[in-house]
Amino acid sequence: MDWTSWIERVGEPGVLALCGLLAGLGFGFFAQRSRFCLRAAVIEFWHGHFGDKLTVWLLAFATAVVAAQLLVLSGLLDVSTARQLSARGSLSGALLGGLIFGVGMVMTRGCASRLLVLSANGNLRALLSGLIFAVTAQASLNGVLAPWRETVSTWWVVEGGPSRSLLALLGAGPWDGLAFGMVWLVTALFFAVRSGWGFWKWAGGIGTGLMVALAWAGTYQVMAHSFEPVQIQGLTFSGPSAEWLMRVLSKPGEPWTFGLGLMPGVFLGSLVGALVGGDWKLEGFGGGYTMPRYIVGAILMGFGSMLAGGCAVGAGMTGGAIFAVTAWVTLAGMWIGGGVADRVFDGANKPAPAPAPSADPAPRAANAPTAAP
């Protein structure tokens, strides 16, 4: 691909938006087909069950790590200037933000990316939660919640550079990162084979992880071939959600960005996946989950993601794939917060509910009288 020609023809913003659109299309489609969801994986983990949902997440995460490290080793990717590694970060924000986000994603039954995927499938609960998430993310970035975020972020600061790289702190390098990813990839493959997966779970889990790595590679190539300063970026949903909200409310004419291409790409990719699989249907509130629970959960996710510097995909997978230390702290917080929330709100220790009455009529005794018409 001739990156220079594309940049000269479309401009850096246009090429970045196109990269976001293509990465989003792939991510949305594969995440929808594989039912990729951090919340579901966390619940399976804390319930002591290594099932399909945990395996799908681990397969996607390990694929992202392996693919990203292979790109670094091949010279096709240099993440040293990525915000997650080069800029000053906050370990206090990462830990507390991850905990808060983990609680919120259990309350809303999905993280930020999952809400967008489900919205494209006709889930109105996810659509409402996603809108509230975007409003809260913007309020946490530049609005009324920003002072709280800034205060917590100053409690434990880590400077950019080697101190933000988990590999550098451990005295390791890309080969070690690749070996680490391969161990977890083999583990995920073992459980996937044992479960007898069909094609779409395999393709979806691997494809979801590949989109994370390819987003890094695409924006890096734009940066490498551009005459203007361009920030290398990866998949994330907190910043782009807030960006889209402000774009809708502001006058048109602002340049396009990677995030502005990403969001509609994920929506369209998930919509195609739902149509292919026959999963599209309108859904409202029900099943014992009330609207206040979704609203509060979305608010917690919006604030938590901005405090942590990313959502379950942005910090957990995108930052985790390049071994940003704050991303790993955030991811740990999400797993802990999600486990606690599941126990508190969904009663992990409560007895299972009684089975629902059968839809079939009870068998009638042979001599029982027939009801009058």
Domain residue spans in the chain? 12-249+256-344
Q: In the prediction, which pLDDT does 288 show?
A: 55
The pair phi, psi for residue 290, each rounded to 5°, is -95, 160
Sequence-ordered alpha helix ranges (H) in 109-237: 112-120, 124-142, 146-153, 166-169, 174-195, 199-225
Distance CA 182, CA 61 (A): 11
Following CA atoms 206, 102, 246, 261 in sequence, which dihedral angle do they give, to the nearest 10 degrees?
0
Query: pLDDT value at position 371?
Result: 38
DSSP label of 318: I
The token duo for 47 is 């319930």
What single letter denotes the amino acid at residue 357? P
Per-residue confidence (pLDDT) for residue 289, from 0 to 100 = 62
**Residues forming a β-bridge with 21:** none
Residue 311: phi and psi, rounded to 5, are: -95, -165
Give the per-residue pLDDT at 24.
93
What's the pLDDT score for residue 366? 41
Q: What is the mean pLDDT of each run of 10 residues along the chain (373 residues)?
A: 76 86 94 91 90 92 96 92 88 94 92 90 89 92 91 91 90 93 93 85 92 93 82 88 82 78 92 88 70 91 92 90 94 94 75 40 42 37
Q: Which long-range contacts (CB under 8 A, 24 or more apart) does 193-196 make?
A: 195/51, 195/52, 195/55
- CA dihedral over 16, 21, 24, 30, signed as positive or negative: negative
Distances (CA, A) of 93 to 155, 302, 308, 327: 8, 13, 5, 11
Q: Is 289 exposed, middle or buried (0-12, 13-18, 19+ CB in 10 A)?
A: middle
Dihedral (CA of 343, 344, 349, 354) sign:
negative
Joined together, the tokens standing for residue 25 give 């299309």
Which among 237, 203, 369 has a CA at the least distance from the CA of 311?
A: 237
Tokens 């999952």 correspond to what residue? 114
Q: What's the pLDDT at 200?
A: 84
Within a 10 A sphere around the Cβ of 285, how many other Cβ atoms?
Answer: 13
Residue 224: both structure tokens together: 């490498």
> 248-253 — which CB contacts under 8 Å span 24+ positions?
none
End-to-end CA distance of the chain, in Å?
A: 75
Hey, is 174 helix, strand or coil? helix
pLDDT of residue 370: 39
Tokens for 16, please give them.
């970045």
Q: In the prediction, which pLDDT does 245 show? A: 85
Distance (Å, whole) CA 49 – CA 107 = 21
Q: How many CB atoms lie within 10 A of CB 361?
A: 6
pLDDT at position 205 is 92
Report the predicted TM-score, pTM, of the whole model to 2 decimal places: 0.87
The answer to whether 99 and 332 are in contact (CB under 8 A) is no
